[in-house]
Copies of this chain bind each other. A is one copy, B any other.
Amino acid sequence: MSKESELRPMDAEQLREQAHKMVDFIADYYKTIENLPVLSQVEPGYLGKLLPDSAPNHPEPLQEILSDVQEKILPGVTHWQSPNYFAYFPSNSSIAGFLGEMLSAGLNILGFSWITSPAATELEMIVLDWVAKAFQLPHHFYSTGQGGGVIQGTASEAVLVVLLAARDKILRRVGKSALSKLVMYASDQTHSSLLKASQIGGLNPELCRSLRTDPSTNYALSPDALCEAISNDIASGLIPFFLCATVGTTSSTAVDPLPALGKIAKSNGIWFHVDAAYAGSACVCPEYRHHFNGVEEADSFNMNAHKWFLTNFDCSLLWVQDRSALIQSLSTNPEFLKNKASQGNLVIDYKDWQIPLGRRFRSLKLWMVLRLYGLEGLRNHIRSHIDLAAHFEELVRQDPRFEVITPRAFSLVCFRLLPRPNSEDDGNQLNRDLLDSVNSTGNIFITHTVLSGKHILRFVVGSPLTEERHVNGAWQILQDKASALLGNS
């Protein structure tokens, strides 16, 4: 490469030229994404065989790298944006979210303190207020009061920071030596991130009460079970301090009864956290907003805009009623970060609301999503997926070989293939085999869970590209593979 054509670390015109090429590469990717195997079919260690074992000493051209992406990287990618992706929960990429990521990466500022880019802090406060309003959250979550919203990387970090705030708040009252007596409550359907957060925070993971749920409540946490657990723990000299309720659990999108749980939390002086990571997005539609009833009693509330709200990963929204509790647990004030605005308490420094110090300008992408689609656009997006999930549920119900396991609340359908009639088979191996069988086609990707000992298949509609034909195609594959397994092919 000649000196002149050599890529400089930064140069506006070279950036323009190369980035236009990358835009075309990515647009072409979306053009063909439907035809790629949605679940990568490579074997462990495949990539090491294809790449050299050292970094090059000298520059290589972009074209070579893009060829390698096409030929070596993409076969190892599981295409979360494929219309045939029905696994886990979605991770929406949208045009607006992508543009927001570009802009954020282009500016590449670190917004840890207000002064390091006032717009980053202030746009985050404004946009979180916008979403709070769109969700009809109580006013004490707005930045204008004692609380406010913040963008975390993930729901795992959101639950960790509020758990730490709650931990330190109770320890300030009862003394640090009580750390090993602190008790957390959640249902056995709660996301594993709560247990992980308790381990990180030095809490006793054995006092992370995983209260049993069953089909009688559609796997929602029972207020009676919670009351009983709290009473037992208090009687044993332990100190209840944290309750995590979920709106839309990971396995089956169960909705815990917030109003009753909130009352119990409040009367026991327990921090009440609501995790609506996935299902929160649906509540931008008035017809689903009732699932948030009771959130008024919550100390903190979380939803992931990066799941089902058209905002590229990562963008997890957390609101707290009392920001001082967060700040007391997470602030640091080294000399090299001091500045007049911070020292004068004139501003919010989001570094004190999170685990890391550095932070990206993530509010840009959420702002762009809200403006480029509008709330109505987001509602249409949610409704179209819920309609498709309802359609899939209906298809399952029409085939007597299958059963729907729990009532569908949002865009997840939990179902399974029934064991052969009059057999002693519990059906678990059958459904494991069905899962492997459909996923190994590469044509669709679904995942599983276990509910009350039953191995269940999960079908989630959530990719922006998914249309009815994709859902029908997926069902056809499931039916065909079921027939093959049952020997009726």
Contacts and interface: CB of A to CB of B under 8 A. Distances in A.
A395 interface: no
A336 B15 contact: no
Interface in A1-51: 7-16, 18-20, 22-31, 39-40, 42, 44-48, 51
A251 B335 contact: yes
B355 A355 contact: yes
Interface size classification for chain A: 35 or more
Nearest to A96: B7
A123 to B, nearest CB: 6
In the complex, the 3 A-B pairs of residues with the closest C-beta atoms, listed nearest first: A202-B202, A76-B119, A16-B27
Contact of A356 (B153, B195, B340, B377): B153
Contact of A19 (B74, B99, B199): B99
B373 A59 contact: yes
Contact of A109 (B11, B62, B78): B78
A433 interface: no
A76 B122 contact: yes
Interface string A455-479: 0001000001100000000000000
Q: How many copies does the complex hold?
A: 2
A80 B93 contact: no
Interface in A148-205: 153-157, 160, 164, 167, 176-177, 179-180, 191-193, 195-196, 199-204
Nearest to A45: B122
Given A9-B381, A98-B106, 12 more contacts: A7-B372, A10-B81, A15-B98, A48-B122, A59-B371, A72-B119, A76-B117, A78-B115, A101-B101, A167-B202, A336-B449, A336-B458
A314 interface: yes
Given A59-B377, A334-B192, A368-B65, A101 B105 contact: yes
A273 B26 CA distance: 39
Nearest to A131: B55
A11 to B, nearest CB: 7
A88 interface: yes
Q: Which of A55, A81, A180 has the most CB of B within 10 A?
A: A55
A235 interface: no
B78 A126 contact: no
A95 B9 contact: yes
Interface in A441-457: 447-450
A192 to B, nearest CB: 4
Contacts of A356: 153-154, 156-157, 314
A62 to B, nearest CB: 7
A191 B332 CA distance: 10
A47 B13 CA distance: 31
A19 B102 contact: yes
A3 to B, nearest CB: 12
Contact of A336 (B101, B118, B447): B447
14 contacts: A19-B102, A22-B102, A40-B119, A42-B119, A48-B122, A56-B371, A57-B375, A73-B123, A77-B118, A156-B355, A177-B180, A192-B333, A192-B334, A193-B332
